[in-house]
Chain A
Amino acid sequence: MVLFTLLFAMLAVGIAAYGRSAQDAAAVVTAPSLVTLIVFLVPLVALILGHDAIVGERERHTLGLLLSLPVHRVEVLVAKFLGRALALCGSIGLGLGAASLLLEPGQRSIVLGLVPSTLLLGASFLSIGVLISVASKRVATAASLAVVVWFLTVFIYDLVLLAIMVMTDGSVGQETITWLVTLNPAGLFRTQQMLQLVGQDGLAELGLAVTLPGALTRAAIWAGWIGLPLVLGGGLLSGRRAVTA
């Protein structure tokens, strides 16, 4: 976690320093570069943080002692999630905070505006990581699964959508594509930020005619990505007959 904090802060500060040299260019240089950095790094770190939450305790033989305490298994799972989420929040806050210090006040607000949705992105992937941790029998399996999920959601998913659009020659409706983009937390984050930075027209100029669902629907999608894996993980852990086996 310390390594991630340092790496994230260094890269974010580097981008901010570069963006500073381009006056009034936060929306064009700094923020889009930070969005790219966040989309690649934050999901990976969140998945890595979450992947050993339960299976790691089992492999280290500490789960039995922990679950022999008078607490529900779900409480242990939620506590594991919250503790890690707090650490992730700290790292994200430090990284983006350090980057914003280098910028002019006008640019600073744009960068600080990235913080809330970055936290949501991190929490979503952390929740998926915790689910992987409950479902896996070995830490190595959980780590492999976490990397596969990261690769699929951050790299492959958009490519598949692009391939669908090309192969169907545009016959798949724009609305369907928008929904498919926003159903991936990484896609939702990216699109949300790009829309905020360059607006609908700016995206259209780039050849991306994406319209996001309303704020309430987006909030529901974020809540779903954070809550659903935790609920599934809690159900799996509670329903397991032999929790340390």
Chain B
Amino acid sequence: MNVRIEELAVRFGPVRALGGVSLGFRPGEVSVLAGPNGAGKSTLMSVILGLVRPDAGRVVANDRTVADSRHDAALSFRARLGYLPESVAFSENLTGRQVMRFFAMARGVGRERVEQVLERVGLGHAAGRSVGGYSRGMRQRLGLGVAILHSPELLILDEPTGGLDQQGITVLWEVLEEWRAAGRSIVLSTHELATIERRADRLFVLVDGRLEASGTPDQLRDQSGLEPTVRKGPGLDEVYEALIGRSSSDASHVH
């Protein structure tokens, strides 16, 4: 699914969360939203998910407007999205399987798929246990399971690596590869650019609700002006620091 964000603006009272951001997500690509806290990454995701109505601008999916200042994201569009929130939480009394079955019912997915996904995220053995007894990493994996349950065309992951255990990170990378190979889109936000470096196809650097820089990792390396090291180019975390640092000391935009 081709998704375009056009001049998206969101204000919360006096605070500008997004100030006219335009960008696009392509099928078969992992797009990474990077930026410090309060940069607007989660707000951008919330607009796509229909949780926040923008003040201006629109979201376009396959050349059709699916959200704008008058309408929350269309239901038919939301049916094609999978979402993993940053602080994923479920009812503590339900078992992992019950949680998955609830979302499966809401998405019109069969029970067979529930078991398949539970195994996929490594929770098959713990599916009968209540979520209250899950570790943070297990909850995050359950959240990832909920997000991929209905094989969405666009997977939105808000800080997915935070709280994930090593098994969860391995599962996450595998899912990203599967989605990319299947020509589906992935959008994720992260602070840990070094972790995601090899998986990112396109990066969008947001600062104070504005798109500060965008491009492939190599394009951003060029834009940063950092010297390559002997073994390889500078790490993405260094590139990110350089871009952020430059934007705060110099008002000139990189893109």
Give chain A's interface residues, CB within 8 Å of chain B.
Answer: 60-62, 64-65, 67-72, 241-245
| 8 examples of A-B residue contacts, CB within 8 angstroms | A61-B88, A62-B90, A67-B49, A68-B78, A69-B107, A70-B75, A243-B52, A245-B12
- Whether a CB of chain A sits under 8 angstroms from the CB of B38 is no
In the bound complex, do residue A69 and residue B106 qualify as a contact, i.e. CB atoms below 8 Å apart?
yes
Q: Is the CB of A65 within 8 A of B52?
A: no
Q: Spot the interface stretch: B27-35, B79-87, B160-168.
A: B79-87
Chain A contact residues: helix, strand, loop or mixed: loop
Interface residues of B in 21-55 (CB under 8 A from A): 46, 49-53
B89 at the interface (CB under 8 A from A): yes
Decide if B46 touches A241 in the complex (CB within 8 Å).
no
Q: A61-B85, A62-B90, A242-B12 are in contact. Are A68 and B49 (CB under 8 A)?
A: yes
Residues of A within 8 A of B49 (CB): 64, 67-68
Is A242 within 8 A of B46, CB to CB? yes
A70 contacts B90, CB within 8 Å?
Answer: no
Main secondary structure of the interface of B (DSSP, over half): mixed
In the bound complex, residues from chain B placing their C-beta under 8 Å from that of A61 are: 85, 87-89
Query: Total contacts A to B, CB within 8 angstroms?
Result: 53
Nearest first, the 3 closest Cβ-Cβ pairs linking A and B are A70-B79, A70-B75, A68-B49
Chain A: CB-nearest residue to B108: A70
User: In the assembly, what is the distance between CA of A70 and CA of B76, in Å?
Assistant: 7
CB pair A64–B79 under 8 Å, yes or no, is: no
B91: Cβ under 8 A from any A Cβ: yes
| Docked-complex contact A65 and B75, CB < 8 angstroms | no
Chain A residue with the shortest CB-CB distance to B83: A68
Number of interface residues of B (CB under 8 A): 24
If A71-B106, A241-B52, A242-B51 touch, does A65 touch B46 (CB 8 Å cutoff)? no
Known: A71-B75, A242-B12. A65 touches B53 (CB 8 A): no
Q: Once bound together, how far apart are the Cα atoms of A65 and B75, in whole Å? A: 14
Q: Is B9 at the interface (CB under 8 A from chain A)?
A: no
Whether A67 contacts B52 in the complex (CB less than 8 A), given A61-B85, A72-B75, comes out as no
Q: Are B78 and A64 in contact (CB under 8 A)?
A: no
Given A64-B85, A70-B78, 12 more A-B residue pairs with CB atoms under 8 Å apart are A60-B89, A61-B88, A64-B46, A64-B49, A65-B83, A65-B146, A68-B49, A68-B50, A70-B79, A70-B107, A242-B12, A242-B52
Determine the residue in chain B with the shortest Cβ distance to A65: B85
Per the bound structure, the CA–CA distance linking A65 and B100 in Å amounts to 13
Q: How far is the CB of A113 from chain B (nearest CB, A)?
A: 36
Instruction: List the A side residues contacting B75 at CB < 8 Å.
Output: 70-72
Closest CB in chain A relative to B87 CB, distance in Å: 5
**Per-residue 0/1 for B61-102: is the Cβ within 8 Å of any A Cβ (1 yes, 0 no)?**
000000000000001101101010101111100000000000
Shortest Cβ distance from B82 into A: residue: A68
The 8 Å CB contact of B88, one of A65, A71, A242, A244, is: A65
Q: Which of A68, A72, A241 contacts B53 (CB 8 A)?
A: A241
Question: What residues on B are CB-neighbors of A72 within 8 Å?
Answer: 75
Measured between alpha carbons, how far is A62 from B51 in the docked complex, in Å? 12
Closest to A238 in B: B72
Q: Which of B50, B52, B76 is A245 in contact with, Cβ under 8 Å?
A: B52
The residue in A61, A71, A242 that gathers the most chain B C-beta atoms within 10 A of its C-beta is: A242
Distance of B212 from chain A, by nearest CB (Å) = 24
**Most central of B52, B79, B81, B143 by chain A CB within 10 Å:** B52
